[in-house]
C-alpha cells in the first residue's frame, strides 16, 4: 500500500480502504454460473496494487486517474471493481479542501470522476464515461476545466473487450475457451499504450477466472521510494479472496537496492473487508533474504445499511508523517422509485422494442479504370414507432417511421435519400416493413430484427417491390433518386423519436 508521502496521498491511501470483495453471480464478460456453484468473489482492484483502502487506484503521474478502470475485464460493473455494494449513485470523500466525487449509473458503471485539490476547484482532475445501449464503455475522457475528452478507442467482439487503442499505441485482450466452453480472458498485452499494464489470468477449480500476474509501471512504495516497474503474482484463499501479493520491483530509487521484493498479505473481517494488511520489503526472494522494511496496518470500519463503510479508522505499526487517523465518506443511493422506473423502462423496451432511433455507418473504397481511388462514407438513420404513429422531425404527416440515408464521396457530389415506412407487421422481435422513397415514390420491403442483448436492429432483405408511375417534365432523373438504406446492424441511439 502507498505509505503516504504527503497529506493528499495519505487521503488517497485511506480512501482505498480495504473493501475485501463482493460476491456476485453475474458478469458482463462471462456467462451466468450454474446456480449450484458458490457465488464468485470479486477482489476490489485496489488490493492488486497493495492499496486496500483505494476506491480507484490511479496510474502514476496524475494525468489519467481512471486509466486502469477498463482493463479489469472480468468484473460485472464498476461498483464491484471499487468494492461497493448496493445501488450506489454517488460517493464523496476527502480531507480538508481535498475532495473526490464519483458518480455511477443504475447499471453500476462509473459516469463521472472528479478530484479537487482546493475549495475553488481550480486544481485537480476529472473524467467522464459514456456507454452504449449494451452497457459497454465507448468513451473515457477528460472532464476538467473544458479540456478535451481525448478518449481511447474501445473495440469489442461479441460483447467482450478485445482492443483498446490511442494513436499508435494499443492493448490487446486475448480470450480463450474455458473449462466449460465459455470464453474467458487469457491475458492482456500492451504495445505503446499508456498507462501500461499487462495481465495474465487463470481459471480455478470452481471455474472462476482469477488474475494471476500483473505488470505495471511506477508502483506505489513506502516513504520517498520510487521504482520504474512492478511485476506481481497473486495468491487466493479457499473462499476466493486475494490473500497475498508477491511483487518484483525493479528500477528502485534506492541506490543500494535497485531491485527489491515485496510481500503483502491480507486478513479480512466478517463483512469481507480487509482488517489487517502487512507489507514487507526484502532485498531478494531467496530463503536468506534480508528484510528492508515492514509495516502492519489495521482497519476498523463503520458501516451503513448496505454494508458499505462510511468511516475507516487506521492504526499503523509504522506511521508516517502526513498520515490521518480516519477517513469519512458520504454515499448516496438510487431510490426505490428510481430503480422501479428503470425496471419499468426495461420491461417496456422488452415488450415494445421498435420505438426509438438507430444508426449505422459504413465506408467503401472504389477504384475506376484509370486507377483513381474514391472513398465513400455511407450512413443511415432509422427512426420508428411501430405501435403508435407519430410525426417525425421535418415531416408533416403521421407515419410509422422513416429511413434517412447519406453518402459522402471523397470526390463527387453528396447524395441523400429518405424512405417513409408505410406498413409494419411486428411479430415479437421481428418486423416486416414496406417503405416508399420520398422522392422516387418507389416501394421496397425489408426485415428488421431486434437484438435485446445490445438493443441493436439488424436491417436485412431490402427488396424492390414496385416502381412509381413515370414522372413528367424536364427535371433530371437524379432529382427523383433515393439513396437506399444500408443493410446491417444499426446501433441503438435513443428511445425517443423527437429528434432531440
pLDDT tens-digit map of 37-52: 567 889 999 999 987 6
Do residue 260 and residue 374 come from a single domain? Answer: no
Residues 6+ apart with CB under 8 A from 344: none
Residue that finishes a domain, picked among 286, 304, 334: 334
Indicate whether 347 belongs to any domain: no
Which of residues 98 and 20 earns the better pLDDT score?
98
pLDDT over 90 at 7, yes or no: no
Indicate whether 341 belongs to any domain: no
pLDDT over 90 at 179, yes or no: no
What is the structure's pLDDT at 38?
Answer: 64
The band of 9, judged by pLDDT with boundaries at 50, 70 and 90, is very low
CA dihedral 365, 366, 372, 376 (to 10 degrees): -50
What is the structure's pLDDT at 148?
Answer: 60
Please tell me the distance from the alpha carbon of residue 334 to that of residue 84, in angstroms, as a whole number: 14
Cβ proximity of 278 and 301 under 8 Å? no
Cβ proximity of 151 and 139 under 8 Å? yes
Do residue 368 and residue 323 come from a single domain? Answer: no
Indicate whether 500 belongs to any domain: no
Give the Cβ contact number of residue 313 at 10 Å. 16
| 210-214 average pLDDT score | 97
What is the structure's pLDDT at 478?
Answer: 45
pLDDT over 80 at 62, yes or no: no
Indicate whether 94 belongs to any domain: yes
The band of 408, judged by pLDDT with boundaries at 50, 70 and 90, is confident
What is the structure's pLDDT at 11?
Answer: 38
The band of 295, judged by pLDDT with boundaries at 50, 70 and 90, is very high
What is the structure's pLDDT at 65?
Answer: 79
What is the structure's pLDDT at 5?
Answer: 31
pLDDT-wise least confident of 2-6, 99-103, 238-242, 258-262: 2-6
Which of residues 303 and 54 earns the better pLDDT score?
303
Phi, psi of 39 (to 5 degrees): -55, 145
Do residue 306 and residue 405 come from a single domain? Answer: no
Q: Which of 32, 28, 75, 30 has the alpha carbon at shortest distance from 56?
A: 75
CA distances in angstroms from 468 to 355, 419, 435, 437, listed in the order given = 29, 13, 12, 9
% of the chain residues with pLDDT over 90: 53
Phi, psi of 11 (to 5 degrees): -65, -40
Do residue 140 and residue 261 come from a single domain? Answer: yes
| 85-91 average pLDDT score | 97
| 286-292 average pLDDT score | 89
- The three-point CA angle 128-134-139 to 5° equals 25
- The three-point CA angle 27-32-38 to 5° equals 95
What is the structure's pLDDT at 430?
Answer: 96
Which of residues 26 and 460 earns the better pLDDT score?
460
Which of residues 180 and 298 earns the better pLDDT score?
298
pLDDT over 90 at 267, yes or no: yes
Query: Residue 252 is part of which domain span?
Result: 7-334
On the 0-12 / 13-18 / 19+ scale of CB atoms within 10 A, 216 is buried
Do residue 409 and residue 308 come from a single domain? Answer: no
Predicted structure pTM score: 0.77
Do residue 322 and residue 370 come from a single domain? Answer: no
| 103-114 average pLDDT score | 94
Residues 6+ apart with CB under 8 A from 121: none
Do residue 426 and residue 307 come from a single domain? Answer: no
Do residue 358 and residue 330 come from a single domain? Answer: no
What is the structure's pLDDT at 16?
Answer: 42
Cis check: omega of the bond before 150, within 30 degrees of 0? no
Each residue of 372-399: pLDDT tens digit? 787 888 999 999 999 999 998 878 889 9
Residues 6+ apart with CB under 8 A from 109: 77, 78, 79, 129, 131, 135, 137
Indicate whether 306 belongs to any domain: yes
Please tell me the distance from the alpha carbon of residue 418 to that of residue 305, in angstroms, as a whole number: 55
Indicate whether 346 belongs to any domain: no
The band of 59, judged by pLDDT with boundaries at 50, 70 and 90, is confident
| 187-191 average pLDDT score | 97
Residue that finishes a domain, picked among 271, 304, 334: 334
Do residue 309 and residue 372 come from a single domain? Answer: no
Do residue 282 and residue 247 come from a single domain? Answer: yes
Residue that finishes a domain, picked among 275, 300, 334: 334
Please tell me the distance from the alpha carbon of residue 494 to that of residue 359, in angstroms, as a whole number: 10
Which of residues 413 and 380 earns the better pLDDT score?
380
CA distances in angstroms from 499 to 323, 354, 382, 455, 493, listed in the order given = 53, 16, 11, 19, 11
Mean pLDDT of the chain: 85
| 365-369 average pLDDT score | 76
Phi, psi of 70 (to 5 degrees): -75, -15
Per the structure, the count of domains in the chain is 2
Q: Which of 61, 177, 107 has the alpha carbon at shortest distance from 338?
A: 107
Phi, psi of 160 (to 5 degrees): -115, 135
Do residue 224 and residue 166 come from a single domain? Answer: yes
Indicate whether 2 belongs to any domain: no
pLDDT over 90 at 494, yes or no: no
What is the structure's pLDDT at 28?
Answer: 42
Do residue 314 and residue 409 come from a single domain? Answer: no
Indicate whether 91 belongs to any domain: yes
Please tell me the distance from the alpha carbon of residue 165 to that of residue 169, in angstroms, as a whole number: 6
Amino acid at each position: 500500500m502507498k505509505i503516504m508521502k504527503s497529506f493528499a496521498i495519505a487521503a488517497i491511501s485511506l480512501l482505498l480502504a480495504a473493501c475485501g470483495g463482493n460476491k456476485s453471480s453475474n458478469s458482463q464478460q462471462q456467462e451466468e454460473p450454474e446456480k449450484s456453484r458458490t457465488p464468485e468473489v470479486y477482489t476490489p482492484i485496489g488490493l492488486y496494487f497493495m492499496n486496500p483502502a483505494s476506491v480507484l487506484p490511479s496510474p502514476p503521474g496524475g494525468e489519467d486517474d481512471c486509466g486502469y478502470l477498463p482493463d479489469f475485464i472480468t468484473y460485472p460493473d464498476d461498483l464491484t471493481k471499487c468494492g461497493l455494494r448496493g445501488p450506489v449513485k454517488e460517493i464523496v470523500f476527502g480531507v480538508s479542501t481535498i475532495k473526490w466525487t464519483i458518480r455511477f449509473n443504475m447499471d453500476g458503471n462509473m459516469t463521472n470522476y472528479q478530484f479537487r485539490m482546493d475549495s475553488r476547484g481550480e486544481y485537480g482532475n476529472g473524467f467522464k464515461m459514456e456507454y452504449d445501449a449494451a452497457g459497454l464503455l465507448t468513451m473515457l475522457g477528460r472532464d476538467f476545466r473544458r479540456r478535451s475528452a481525448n478518449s481511447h478507442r474501445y473495440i469489442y467482439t461479441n460483447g467482450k473487450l478485445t482492443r483498446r487503442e490511442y494513436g499508435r499505441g494499443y492493448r490487446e485482450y486475448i480470450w480463450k475457451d474455458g473449462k466449460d466452453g465459455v470464453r474467458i480472458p487469457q491475458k492482456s498485452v500492451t504495445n505503446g499504450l499508456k498507462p501500461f499494464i499487462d495481465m495474465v489470468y487463470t481459471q480455478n477449480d470452481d471455474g472462476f477466472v482469477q488474475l494471476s500476474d500483473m505488470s505495471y509501471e511506477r508502483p506505489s512504495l513506502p516513504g520517498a521510494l520510487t521504482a520504474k516497474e512492478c511485476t506481481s503474482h497473486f495468491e487466493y484463499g479457499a473462499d476466493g479472496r486475494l490473500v497475498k501479493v508477491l511483487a518484483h520491483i525493479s528500477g528502485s530509487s534506492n541506490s543500494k537496492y535497485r531491485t527489491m521484493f515485496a510481500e503483502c498479505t491480507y486478513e479480512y473481517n466478517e463483512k469481507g473487508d480487509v482488517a489487517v494488511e502487512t507489507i514487507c520489503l526484502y532485498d531478494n526472494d531467496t530463503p536468506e533474504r534480508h528484510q528492508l522494511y515492514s509495516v502492519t496496518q489495521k482497519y476498523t470500519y463503520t458501516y451503513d445499511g448496505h454494508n458499505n463503510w462510511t468511516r475507516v479508522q487506521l492504526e499503523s505499526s509504522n506511521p508516517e508523517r502526513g498520515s490521518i487517523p480516519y477517513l469519512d465518506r458520504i454515499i448516496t443511493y438510487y431510490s426505490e422509485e428510481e430503480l422501479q422506473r428503470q425496471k419499468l423502462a426495461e420491461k417496456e423496451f422488452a415488450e415494445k422494442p421498435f420505438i426509438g432511433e438507430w444508426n449505422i455507418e459504413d465506408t467503401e473504397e472504389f477504384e475506376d479504370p484509370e486507377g483513381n481511388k474514391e472513398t465513400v462514407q455511407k450512413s443511415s438513420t432509422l427512426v420508428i414507432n411501430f405501435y403508435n404513429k407519430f410525426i417525425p422531425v421535418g415531416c408533416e404527416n403521421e407515419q410509422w417511421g422513416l429511413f434517412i440515408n447519406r453518402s459522402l464521396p471523397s470526390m463527387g457530389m453528396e447524395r441523400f435519400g429518405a424512405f417513409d415506412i408505410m406498413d409494419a407487421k411486428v411479430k415479437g422481435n421481428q418486423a416486416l416493413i414496406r417503405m416508399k422513397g420520398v422522392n422516387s415514390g418507389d416501394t421496397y420491403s425489408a426485415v428488421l430484427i431486434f437484438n435485446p442483448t445490445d438493443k441493436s436492429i439488424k436491417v436485412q432483405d431490402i427488396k424492390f417491390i414496385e416502381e412509381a408511375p413515370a414522372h413528367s417534365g424536364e427535371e433530371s432523373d437524379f432529382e427523383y433518386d433515393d439513396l437506399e438504406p444500408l443493410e446491417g446492424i444499426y446501433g441503438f441511439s435513443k428511445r425517443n423519436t423527437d429528434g432531440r
